[in-house]
Amino acid sequence: MKANIYTTEGKIAKEITLPENIFGAKWNADLVSQVLYSQASNRRAGTAHTKNRAEVRGSHKKPWAQKGSGRARVGSAQSPLWKGGGVTFGPRNDKNYKKTITRSMKQGALFSLLSAKLTAGKILFVDAFAINEGKTKSAETVMKNLTVVEGFSTLDYKKVGNVYMTTQKGDLMTKRAFRNLPYVVLHNMDDLNPLDIANARYLVISNPEATIEYLSSKIK
């Protein structure tokens, strides 16, 4: 399995052989769904919180007598049926949303998504981002240049989450240049994960040789 590696000008630089066990993995919808759900759950802040009838401020005195008034019986003004009362089954910040994902599950889902993205023609391999000054204008120029590659004409489309991009660890200038582009999410190559890949339309991998070497080293 071979793929082209492009320069930041959108020209073919060289060809790379992709490992079958990473970019040719069989699609496993059940595994991918389980891993994506678990990752999304693990990212939840869990800060949403409502008060129940025991926590709402105010007197808990019975508003009126149980019988004799002709009105419906009420035990307290903190009842969920009353305005300003407690909330029934609302979100609580003491709930634990964490879910366990094994290494093999995450790896399997990652390879399955990488293979699906490659089959759909949504992965672009770039040799390196030669950005030395860390300017957003330079990043915009690079993205515009890459739109000439067949199948990537909407790479610079101004939509949040349009592109998920990976780069070498420690490449601070590239990160500084791309951080102000709202449609690009950029992380180190070792942060490549199923949820971000699934949420993005395109995947741009810089220094693909190093990335593939890193992914291959994690296979057991």
Q: Between vectors from CA 73 to CA 68 and to CA 79, what angle results, nearest 5°?
A: 150
Q: Give the span between the Cα atoms of 119 and 96, in whole angstroms.
A: 37
Q: Position 92: which residue type?
A: R
Residue 132 in tokens: 């030395």
What is the model's pLDDT at position 162?
93
pLDDT tens across the length of the chain (220 residues): 889 999 988 899 899 999 999 999 999 999 999 999 999 999 998 899 999 999 999 888 899 999 999 999 999 999 999 999 999 999 999 888 899 999 999 999 999 999 999 999 999 999 988 777 778 898 899 999 999 999 999 998 988 889 999 988 877 888 888 888 999 999 998 889 999 999 999 999 998 999 999 998 888 6
User: What would the DSSP string read from start to end of 71-127?
Assistant: SPP-S-TT-TTSTT---TT---TT--------HHHHHHHHHHHHHHHHHTT-EEEES
Torsion of CA 152, 156, 162, 165, to 10 degrees: 80
Residue pointed to by tokens 């930041």: 8
Torsion of CA 11, 13, 15, 20, to 10 degrees: -80
Nearest by Cα to 113 from 177, 46, 199: 199
What is the model's pLDDT at position 36?
96
pTM above 0.85, yes or no: no
Q: Give the span between the Cα atoms of 137 and 150, in whole angstroms.
A: 23
Q: Give the span between the Cα atoms of 114 and 215, in whole angstroms.
A: 11
What is the model's pLDDT at position 64?
93
CB atoms within 10 A of CB 187: 15
**Residues 15, 3 contacting (CB under 8 angstroms):** yes
Taking the CA atoms of 196, 112, 123 and 155 in sequence, report the sign of the dihedral they define.
negative
**Residues 15, 2 contacting (CB under 8 angstroms):** yes
What is the model's pLDDT at position 220?
67
Which residues share a beta bridge with 16? Answer: 3
Structural domains of the chain sorted by starting position, each given as residue range(s) with its CATH number in brackets: 2-44+98-217 (3.40.1370.10), 47-96 (no CATH)
Residue 164 in tokens: 């998920």
Q: Give the span between the Cα atoms of 18 and 120, in whole angstroms.
A: 15
Q: Give the span between the Cα atoms of 68 and 137, in whole angstroms.
A: 77
